[in-house]
Amino acid sequence: MKYISTRGNAPELTFEEVLLTGLAEDGGLYVPKDVPQYTLAEIESWRDLPYAELAHKVIYPFVEGSVDSEALQTILNEVYGGFAHKAVAPLQQIDHNEYVLELFHGPTLAFKDFALQTLGRLLDYVLERRHEKVVIMGATSGDTGSAAIEGTKACKNVDIFILHPHGKVSEVQRRQMTTVKGDNIFNIAIEGNFDQAQDMVKASFGNQGFLKGERKLVAVNSINWARIMSQIVYYFYSSLNLGGPLRPMAYSVPTGNFGDIFAGYMAKKMGLPIDQLVIATNSNDVLHRLMSKNQYEVHPLQHTITPSMDIAVSSNFERLLFDLYDRDGAALAELMGRMNAKKDVVSLDEEKLAKARVLFDSFAVSEDDTVKVMQDVFAETGYLLDPHTAIGVKAARETRRNNNIPMITLGTAHPVKFEDAVKRAGFDMPNLPHHLTDLMDREERLDVLPADLEAVHKFIAQKTFK
């Protein structure tokens, strides 16, 4: 499998090289040069596979030539054998033909465990073979950080630095990052917002001189293809559990950086019958404004009760645009230059946007409506949604095209992670799962730094070359 940059001016890479690269040298994101295609009969033959074996079927074509087939299966068995629910990604029915896909049974109670537990083990596999050490640098608006740390804490060849906006993630999310012990783990609280942290990470990949040429940076944010690849699996798994691929499904995805919903788009390209993908956002609604009005304009970031979606710029949307613009890297580079300038309102070619609207719908949900959906679903079913999932349910109900096919909302996190939203909805906090019962008593370790790239680079260099 070879990978190409969305901006068309970077070398083709293998999966192993993409895993260790992050952004392409031309500023683009790597995508597969060719997408594996499956017939309905082939997908149907996977119906009875347990999650880890299905994951091998979906993932192996993307890593072939870089990761041995048996080694991949061993990694996947280890990853998903550590989830708290034997089904790994169980479905919870909340109404007729309406479901929540529970993606929070991993060690950090969020969907990002699916990808980051796998990514950490793949990194160790590749780095051991190459006799190399790397620096992981990532930004998080909530869940990515803890999942990345949990997934890579045992990696012998990695130092990990996670930036989060100081005081702007929930206490459970922060403690899941800052209480993990390890000499290779560093939490940096940035005196700014998530987009500033993400911009610093992107800038660091463009200029890695602070690492003196002795290490290279590796991305754990969803710009890393290994993240997207792992998330494709649960679309196949949920579909097969509800009668797919013999009938289509619809999915509503709470999204900030567009990675999780892009995985659904990839599943569709691979042959899974998906009738509709709903982009569900909070008041940071840049994608909804683009999809509904064809107006791309970056607004100031708003901090909400759904902090994992408090993102003003959705990095992975570039991967979809690459396909909409017929994989024309030069055309996309010009478009991204205008979009990233953040100066003017940018509109897409109407014909290109029309192609997206065939599959995608979008909806932005207010905080009041988020809380009301949490209350309504609990009153109807006794089931407590986390606020991000509630946004997905509301968006699904507002935009649903066909009531005769299942609508599946991705349940992205456990409600225990979001105390403000749960209490605002009038509920008592659920108990932390057994492996986290002492979380509030654990010692925290973090460093508060200004939102200044030079200061962050100096800190990373000091800790890496101590």
- Which positions are catalytic? 112
Beta strands in 26-79 (DSSP E): 30-32
- In 3D space, the residue among 116, 178, 113, 172 whose CA is nearest the CA of residue 432 turns out to be 172
Bridge partners for 158 per DSSP: 134
Q: Specify whether the backbone of 330 is left (phi greater than 0), alpha (psi in -120 to 50) or beta.
A: alpha
- Pairing assessment for the beta strands 158-165 and 134-139 based on DSSP bridges: parallel
d(CA 18, CA 15): 5
Count CB-CB contacts under 10 A for residue 429. Answer: 13
The dihedral sign for the CA sequence 260, 266, 270, 275 = positive
Long-range CB pairs of 402-405, under 8 A, 24+ apart, other chains included: 402/250, 402/275, 402/276, 403/97, 404/97, 405/97, 405/247, 405/248, 405/249, 405/250, 405/275
d(CA 9, CA 25): 8
Residue pair 3/30 in contact by the 8 Å Cβ criterion: yes
Residue pair 222/378 in contact by the 8 Å Cβ criterion: no
d(CA 192, CA 413): 24
d(CA 25, CA 158): 22
Q: Specify whether the backbone of 397 is left (phi greater than 0), alpha (psi in -120 to 50) or beta.
A: alpha
- DSSP class per residue in 92-142: EEEETTEEEEE---STTSBTHHHHHHHHHHHHHHHHHHHT--EEEEEE-SS
Radius of gyration of the chain (CA): 21
Residue pair 198/310 in contact by the 8 Å Cβ criterion: no
Q: Which residues contact 292 (CB under 8 A, 6 or more apart)?
A: 362
Task: Give me the count of residues in the chain.
Answer: 466
The dihedral sign for the CA sequence 75, 79, 80, 81 = positive
